Amino acid sequence: LIYCYRKPKTKRAKRFLEKREPKLKENTKNAMLIKGGNANLTVTDVLKDIYAVKKPFAVLYKKKNITRPFEDQTSLEFFSKKSDCSLFMFGSHNKKRPNNLIIGRMFDYHVLDMIELGIEKFVSLKDVKNSKCPEGTKPMLIFAGDMFDVNEEYRRLKSLLIDFFRGPSVPNIRLAGLEYVLHFTAVDGKIYMRSYKVLLKKSGCKIPRIELEEMGPSLDLVMRRTHLASDDHYKQSLKQPKALKPKKKKNISHDVFGTTYGRIHMQKQDLAKLQTRKMKGLRKRPAEKSAEDGGVSPKKSKSS
């Protein structure tokens, strides 16, 4: 809207454009799930399950799109611009790369990071005959394994997965509603993704005991190719505007015991003219007042 070639003519169009323009506090990232020209059943099922997990912040494209993300990114960027999605997942299958899944994200409608993963084993939502949690639940994310810190590509993958599955950013959560957990383990060059439904059981103390029930999609992944953004490009995308930084409140300090201290700066006060509480008994009597005045008549007589 800031630099529109043509002004929107209706309020609805204006709201549409305002939703898509860059903002201080951004919208939840949408994901687009695309099938490649040669997607097979496994890959299609994976995309459908991820769509179920990420609803309503995902778009599942029904038709196959014949593109190769690693060679040409213009098609993906066009889709991202049209549907305002900054995360994407592209599934394909061929002899050289069977059951391929490319997961990536965009910055300013241009591809930032892309990581290609191979699906070795997949258990779908409908294969696991347990109760599911409601759609749109914010999942808890757990990453296990030292590979996620040591290896640079795994670190970017971790950041990508958090971005992908994070869901909307909320200020409060209902503690009883923590039902869904996604657990990623990096072991032996493989990444195991498991989803569990959380059951909170009674325990002796306030904190409940957790029991997990297998639910939802579980994937065994292998990292294949990567297309990561250069360091300065990545740093630029991380930059947050200064207005979002929490403002430091000056003149407030806390001590070890949790007491809050504040400093007030006062102007110089004339203690003689200080307004204190009026004590009726201590008020000056008229006789005393006249004695102080030194004989100057308090009342003026009327001159005729």
Partner 1 sequence: MAAVRVEEVLSAAEEQEAEKRRSVVVEKELELEFDLGNLLALDRNPPPAAALRGAGPRREALLRALARDNTQLLVAQLWELPAERAGGAGGPLVARLPEPTFRLPREKPPPRPRPPTRWEQFARLKGIRPRKKTSLVWDEQAKEWRRRWGYKRAGGDPARAWLAEVPANADPEEDQFARLRREKRERVARNELNRLRNLARAHRAGTTVPAAPLHPTGHQSREELGHVARVARVSTASLGRFQPRLPKESAEPPSRSGGRKRRFEPLLGNLAAERSRQLEMLRDMGSKKPVLDITRAVNKQLRQEEAEAAAAKGKKKQSQRGKRGRRQQRVGRSGKKSG
Chain residues 41-80 in contact with partner 1, contact rule CB under 8 A: 61, 63-67, 72, 74-75, 78-79
Task: State the nearest-atom distance from the C-beta of 256 to partner 1, in Å.
Answer: 20
Residue 125 CA: distances (Å) to CA of 52, 69, 128, 251? 9, 27, 6, 55
176 touches partner 1 (CB under 8 A): yes
* Contact (Cβ atoms closer than 8 angstroms) between residue 121 and residue 220: yes
- What residues numbered 123-162 form the site for partner 1, per CB under 8 A? 138-146, 148-149, 159, 162
- Joined tokens for residue 72: 């040409």
Going residue by residue from 85 to 104, which x/- string records binding to partner 1, judged by CB under 8 A? -x------------------
CA-CA distances (angstroms) from residue 44 to 40, 124, 196, 217, 242? 6, 11, 22, 13, 42
Residue 58 vs 186, nearer CB to partner 1: 186
Looking at the Cβ atoms of 36 and 100, the one nearer to partner 1 is 36
Residue among 126, 106, 105, 159 nearest 49 (CA): 126
Q: How many CB atoms lie within 10 A of CB 206?
A: 5
Task: Establish if 260 lies at the interface with partner 1 (CB under 8 A).
Answer: no
CA atoms within 13 A on the CB side of 186: 18
Tell me the window of 47-55, 237-245, 274-282, 295-303 that interacts with partner 1 (CB under 8 A).
237-245
Query: Which position among 133, 198, 215, 223 is part of the footprint of partner 1 (CB under 8 A)?
Result: 198
Count of positions on this chain that bind partner 1 (CB under 8 A): 89
Which position among 192, 217, 221, 228 is part of the footprint of partner 1 (CB under 8 A)? 192
9 is a contact residue toward partner 1 (CB under 8 A): no
Residue with tokens 């630099």: 3
